[in-house]
Amino acid sequence: MLAKIAIGLAAVLAVLAIVVATRPDAFLIQRTATIAAPAEVVYAQLDDLHRWGQWNPFEKSDPGIRLAFAGPASGVGSSYHFVGKRAGEGRMTISGVRPNERVTVRADFIKPMAATHQIEFTLKPAPGGVAVTWAMSGRNGFLGKAVSLVMNMDRMVGGEFEKGLADLKRVSEAQASTAVAAR
């Protein structure tokens, strides 16, 4: 009887392993919002990691998060190491910029699960302002594929991107209207 249970359990695990292995290797999560502010105002928020705390939902939702900044104040090479209860541990490093058009970030996650992903903020002219797309892409290892069976990462992470874009909109539009009022 015990042998039959072991064989049945092994068969279930084998089927589960096959299902996990067939999940997609790559992923892309992205959201877009239109912001009624000049591209240079929005770009300044994205290009300076010190400003991310004003709109980044991953920082805002982890009040005890510790950040250690390194490199230049902004632009390529600017980075921060983070450690938080909710956010885990990792490093964000600006890896590429095209002023007022694009900021790319290398996201190295250490805990709870090691992974490296590419984050890209793209700014395109839109009626009344700029359309900002926040995208994250990467590769799924076996564990990432297994997690995707039980958690909808697009909905979960995409929801955070939507919150962040709403706060980026609020911050950028307030800054743009302050600049106009100062003229």
Domain assignment present for 33: yes
In this prediction the pTM is 0.82
Domain assignment present for 87: yes
Q: Are strands 115-126 and 102-111 parallel, antiparallel or unpaired?
A: antiparallel
Contact status, residue 81 vs residue 63, Cβ threshold 8 Å: no
Separation of alpha carbons 26 and 142, rounded Å: 12
Separation of alpha carbons 39 and 50, rounded Å: 19
Domain count, the chain: 1
Least confident residue range of 19-28, 67-76, 100-109, 152-161:
19-28
Domain assignment present for 153: yes
Domain assignment present for 8: no
> Which pLDDT belongs to residue 17?
64
DSSP summary character for residue 164? H
pLDDT digits (tens, 9 = 90+) for 55-106: 999 888 888 899 999 999 999 999 999 999 888 899 999 999 999 999 999 9
Average pLDDT, the chain: 87
> Which pLDDT belongs to residue 32?
97
Contact status, residue 76 vs residue 56, Cβ threshold 8 Å: no
> Which pLDDT belongs to residue 110?
93
Domain assignment present for 57: yes
Higher pLDDT, residue 89 or 21? 89
Domain assignment present for 104: yes
Domain assignment present for 157: yes
What angle separates helix 153-182 from helix 39-47, to the nearest 10 degrees? 120
SS3 per residue for 62-80: CCCCEEEEECCCCCCCCEE
Domain assignment present for 17: no
What is the extent of the structural domain holding 77?
Answer: 25-182
CATH number, position 75? 3.30.530.20
